[in-house]
């Protein structure tokens, strides 16, 4: 665990002190014995859903904005799932007889919401909030993998604490200009070139098209980009402009209230 915590901190000592002072942490450790394995696995596996909804189709091919369906992602903790009428605004006309859409029609007629299975979650004792991340220009793919290319959504990252902390210690590697969290998809929409090619033999993924920065290409594939030189300087400037207090961003209380 040493690389999870700052090199200077005495992990055991620190946790013991906090543990005595605040019992939720003790509860946390106990709970995590049960929950951990469930949360760290399942990356990359598609889940059972009432309707085989394809992000690749609706986002890359049709060009729908994330916020059209995940309406609260910029404003609140939860991104949210679309209401049935959002689907029906098109599917009462388009593919209105498709058997795949039967559950959507039924939900609409009976006024019973569709039950989407949540893939991405953190344990109860962890606080997470979408809006602050989106407002700091962090693109969704950083945390969810190549969503715009997913046929069936799957979990793109394991959400271990060390992963959250890596960014909280070095936000300059990830933050973007205000309002830039959706730039990648906007470009894909405009250029219509955002196709991820899979080499069947090698399993290697490649990007086809033009007009994306190197960082956007990497993000598009759902991989982690290592900023360098000017990009890092730009990141550091943004951290200052946003007034992000980097030393405090990995304090336990940020994520564990």
Short-list 147, 138, 119, CA closest to 249? 138
Closer to ligand HEC by Cβ: residue 99 or 203: 99
x/- string (CB under 6 A) for ligand HEC, residues 123-142? Answer: x--xxxxx-xxx-x-x-x-x
Q: How far is 79 from 73, CA to CA, in rounded Å? A: 4
State which of positions 215-234 bind ligand HEC (CB under 6 A): none
| DSSP state for residue 181 in the 8-state scheme | G
Short-list 251, 223, 243, CA closest to 135? 243
| Site for ligand HEC contains 252 (CB under 6 A) | yes
Q: How far is 182 from 139, CA to CA, in rounded Å? A: 6
| Site for ligand HEC contains 143 (CB under 6 A) | yes
Greatest Cα pair distance, the chain, in angstroms, is 63
Q: How far is 147 from 180, CA to CA, in rounded Å? A: 17
Phi, psi of 46 (to 5 degrees): -75, 150
| Site for ligand HEC contains 118 (CB under 6 A) | yes
Closer to ligand HEC by Cβ: residue 104 or 212: 104
| Site for ligand HEC contains 64 (CB under 6 A) | yes
| Site for ligand HEC contains 212 (CB under 6 A) | no
Q: Which of 108, 149, 153, 212 binds ligand HEC (CB under 6 A)?
A: 153
Closer to ligand HEC by Cβ: residue 86 or 205: 86
State which of positions 4-43 bind ligand HEC (CB under 6 A): 5, 15, 18, 25, 28-29, 32, 36, 39-40
The residue range among 112-120, 190-198, 201-209, 214-222 that interacts with ligand HEC, by the rule CB under 6 A, is 112-120
Q: How many residues bind ligand HEC (CB under 6 A)?
A: 85
Closer to ligand HEC by Cβ: residue 78 or 198: 78
Closer to ligand HEC by Cβ: residue 92 or 208: 92
Q: How far is 2 from 224, CA to CA, in rounded Å? A: 22
For residue 41, the SS3 value is coil
Q: How far is the CB of 201 from ligand HEC (least distance, A)?
A: 28
Q: How far is 168 from 165, CA to CA, in rounded Å? A: 5
Closer to ligand HEC by Cβ: residue 48 or 200: 48
Short-list 47, 30, 28, CA closest to 161? 28
| Residue 152 φ/ψ region, left for φ over 0, alpha for ψ in the -120 to 50 degree band, beta for the rest | beta
Q: How far is the CB of 221 from ligand HEC (least distance, A)?
A: 14
| Site for ligand HEC contains 52 (CB under 6 A) | yes
């Amino acid at each position: 665990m040493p690389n999870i915590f700052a090199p200077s901190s005495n992990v055991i000592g620190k946790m013991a002190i906090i543990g005595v002072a605040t019992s939720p942490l003790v509860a946390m450790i106990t709970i995590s014995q049960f929950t951990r394995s469930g949360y760290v696995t399942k990356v990359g596996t598609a889940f059972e859903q009432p309707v085989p909804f394809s992000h690749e189709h609706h986002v890359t091919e049709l060009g729908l904005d994330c916020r059209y369906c995940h309406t609260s992602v910029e404003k609140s903790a939860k991104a949210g799932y679309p209401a049935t009428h959002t689907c029906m605004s098109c599917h009462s006309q388009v593919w209105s007889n498709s058997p795949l859409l039967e559950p959507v029609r039924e939900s609409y007629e009976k006024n019973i919401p569709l039950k989407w299975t949540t893939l991405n979650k953190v344990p109860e004792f962890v606080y997470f909030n979408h809006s602050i991340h989106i407002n700091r220009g962090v693109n969704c793919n950083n945390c969810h993998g190549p969503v715009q290319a997913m046929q069936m959504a799957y979990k793109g990252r394991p959400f271990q604490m060390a992963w959250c902390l890596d960014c909280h210690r070095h936000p300059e590697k990830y933050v973007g200009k205000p309002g830039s969290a959706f730039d990648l998809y906007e470009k894909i929409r405009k250029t219509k070139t955002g196709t991820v090619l899979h080499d069947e033999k090698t399993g290697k993924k490649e990007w086809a098209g033009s007009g994306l920065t190197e960082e956007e290409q990497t993000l598009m594939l759902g991989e982690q980009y290592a900023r360098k030189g000017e990009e890092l300087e730009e990141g550091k400037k943004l951290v200052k402009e946003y007034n992000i207090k980097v030393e405090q961003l990995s304090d336990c209380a940020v994520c564990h209230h």
